[in-house]
Amino acid sequence: MTFNDTFLRSIRKESVDHIPVWYMRQAGRYQPSYRKIKEKFSLEQITEQPELCAEVTIAPIEQLGVDAAILYSDIMTPIKPMGIDVEIKAGIGPVISNPVRTLADVNAMRVPNAKEDLPFVIETIEILVRELKVPLITFAGAPFTLASYIIEGGPSRNYYKTKQMMYSAPDVWNALMDKLSDMILSYMKAHIEAGAQAIQIFDSWVGSLSQSDYRTYVLPTMKKIFTGLQELNVPKIYFGVGTGELMRIWSELPVDVIGVDWRVPLDQARERVGSKFSLQGNLDPAYLLAPEDVRFAEAARILDMGMAQPGFVFNLGHGIFPEADVDVLKRLTDFVHEYSARRLSR
Amino acid sequence: MTFNDTFLRSIRKESVDHIPVWYMRQAGRYQPSYRKIKEKFSLEQITEQPELCAEVTIAPIEQLGVDAAILYSDIMTPIKPMGIDVEIKAGIGPVISNPVRTLADVNAMRVPNAKEDLPFVIETIEILVRELKVPLITFAGAPFTLASYIIEGGPSRNYYKTKQMMYSAPDVWNALMDKLSDMILSYMKAHIEAGAQAIQIFDSWVGSLSQSDYRTYVLPTMKKIFTGLQELNVPKIYFGVGTGELMRIWSELPVDVIGVDWRVPLDQARERVGSKFSLQGNLDPAYLLAPEDVRFAEAARILDMGMAQPGFVFNLGHGIFPEADVDVLKRLTDFVHEYSARRLSR
């Protein structure tokens, strides 16, 4: 089997014979194989065993036939060696016993060295790069999203403590943004050196900010990160949930792909960011529960918009959820491949 | 003291000497006076005692100096007499022991008669209309938002069961939309007959839908409701959280005021809906925790945009939260009044 580089080619707007597909959280609880592994090991325990972690990362490629792998990991993985006491609690998410509130707290955080502090992550990437026949995406959480957990102490609905720090203690906020962006730059560089072929930066919760606050408190950090990542010469994807209102601002960033959730139709996303960027998205994951004809009609509608210009990757607008079905995702992947291949061969 | 009709005048784009202010959830746990009442009575028990409920509704007018009152109630209040077993649980929200899933479940729901089934609500409105020196806003939840609780059985993050019904059982979905819109029309009519002077329809969670799904599954119902409410001849406000992407579609609805959350700058909201509509919003509630100079600068920025055209009501982009401070809100209200009065007198 030859290497399938359709994902990278489509991002670069080169000719492809089908639209590439991958899914956020494609290694996850919806898979019986994954649930079986999770009976024995926690997320942390899986990531600390490179062979097992590689197996978990590879499983969806085999089960679904997707065109890219994404490293099995968590956005909080590199946060623990920064001195933050984080635990991923089932059904809740990351919970932090020592939330960061003061400048002294931020100063006490150290920037980890991936090779020394997280050698198992690098080793997993090396195994994957040897074994995979599709590109490997690696990822990091963006500073706002990471900060929201680190400041709130866990998942939040309104991010009031996070915003309170932004407004009331900009020196602490800026120090935290700097520390997190140093971590992200060093962590992503180590992944790319180990062989990962693309980066996705998850800014899942930044859609809670107004445009004006994003511009003041977050944009400078994102510019620094994406500019710093440019020398790595791999495609960079930036994604958030409910971030349509920020998309025009995102077009100022040196990223290659804008991740779009289902709230923004792809033609409107293109209007906002311009034709320079490739797009990735944007089926509402809820369609995984719809009858197949309804789901395929929606996928076709999205493909028609996405394929109107070169530079498109099919994905969901957010991660796969536990109630989803492997066979549904396999058949959806096949549908996207076949429908787009038919259109492209015309 | 004469009647202060600035709120109604501003919505009608008549000349005003200051920009009117009110706050979503202005009667709430941030008030020590309210917390004291809540030690003795639940939300339901307060709404069932007209004198007490009127007192709770009036308190923020006296404490903050706002330009409108909003009936103390809950969007689930008229749902209980429909045969839905709903309980408002502290710290969680509405919890429903018999969620609606089938056509038989929907058919078993009855449209309540407000005067007979909720006489205490009508009586509260009558007291308020006699006592208040500002307009009384009444409200209802919109069908999608109500349906999300009724189908999921409680608050939800992703609304998968709700969307699953939309996609898989459109007959059940449409029957539920019809039943809820009949309730809303009859309930709002009874409130207006009792003397309420404006209506706000809360579609808090409809921002979870794509534009295409909103158009297919929700818009026809919203057209029916707002067209039906037109004969009542009071201003109609439509509000949701994270609904910026739906705003162009909302401009097809016969409403008077579009409620804007903080994610959409008011100048962009005007671009989307056109100058026919008045706007209401849109300070991020998180600014209630900011230093006063930062909060006032943001309020001024919003006022400058909001006052660029006639037809503006100052509000938060979402409800006041329990950690907020009465004095902060009082001083914010004064600031909005004084800043806008200065600008208007120029």
Specify whether the CB–CB gap between B273 and B250 falls below 8 A: yes
Kindly list the distances between the CA atom of residue B60 and the CA atoms of B57, B71, B170, in Å, as whole numbers in the listed order.
7, 11, 42
**Which residues in chain B are closer than 8 Å to A244, comparing Cβ atoms?**
244-245
CATH 3.20.20.210 fits B6-344, yes or no: yes
pLDDT (average), residues A57-65: 98
pLDDT (average), residues B213-222: 98
Give the model confidence (pLDDT) of B55-64 as tens digits. 999 999 999 9
Q: Angle, nearest 10°, between helix axes B326-345 and B50-64?
A: 60
- Mean pLDDT estimate for chain B: 97
Question: Which token pair is B106?
Answer: 């929907």
**Which residues in chain A are closer than 8 Å to B218, comparing Cβ atoms?**
none
pLDDT (average), residues A38-45: 96
Q: Is the pLDDT of residue A328 over 90?
A: yes
B200 is in an annotated binding site: no
Specify whether the CB–CB gap between B68 and B95 falls below 8 A: no
Give the model confidence (pLDDT) of B87-116 as tens digits. 988 888 899 999 999 999 999 999 999 999
Q: Is the pLDDT of residue A1 over 80?
A: no
Give the model confidence (pLDDT) of A76-117 as tens digits. 999 999 999 999 888 888 999 999 999 999 999 999 999 999
A304 touches B at CB < 8 Å = no
The distance of B164 to chain A (nearest Cα, Å) reads: 6
Which residue in the set B160, B242, B244 is minimally distant from A323, CB to CB? B160
**Which residues in chain B are closer than 8 Å to A212, comparing Cβ atoms?**
265, 298, 301
Look at A151-160, A284-293, B167-176 and tell me which has the smallest mean pLDDT: A151-160
- Mean pLDDT estimate for chain A: 97
Residues of chain B with pLDDT > 70: what percent? 100
- Tell me the domain boundaries of chain B: 6-344
- DSSP state at residue B289: G
pLDDT band at B346 (very low <50, low <70, confident <90, very high): confident
Residues of chain B with pLDDT > 90: what percent? 97
Which residue in the set B167, B289, B291 is minimally distant from A291, CB to CB? B167
Give the model confidence (pLDDT) of A178-228 as tens digits. 999 999 999 999 999 999 999 999 999 999 999 999 999 999 999 999 999
A28 is in an annotated binding site: yes
B265 touches A at CB < 8 Å = yes
- In sequence order, the 6+-apart residues with CB closer than 8 A to the CB of A37 are A46, A52, A55, A56
Specify whether the CB–CB gap between A253 and A221 falls below 8 A: no
Nearest to B135 by CA among B322, B287, B8, B236: B8
A264 touches B at CB < 8 Å = yes
Specify whether the CB–CB gap between B277 and B218 falls below 8 A: no
Q: Is residue A316 classed as helix, strand or coil in its secondary structure? A: strand
3-state secondary structure A222-240: HHHHHHHHHHHCCCEEEEC
* B206 → chain A, closest CA residue: A263
- In sequence order, the 6+-apart residues with CB closer than 8 A to the CB of B98 are B84, B85, B105
Q: pTM for the complete prediction?
A: 0.96
Question: Which token pair is B17?
Answer: 């000497």
Which residue in the set A167, A207, A321 is minimally distant from B294, CB to CB? A167
pLDDT value for B92: 87
Give the model confidence (pLDDT) of A255-293 as tens digits. 999 999 999 999 999 999 999 999 999 999 999 999 999
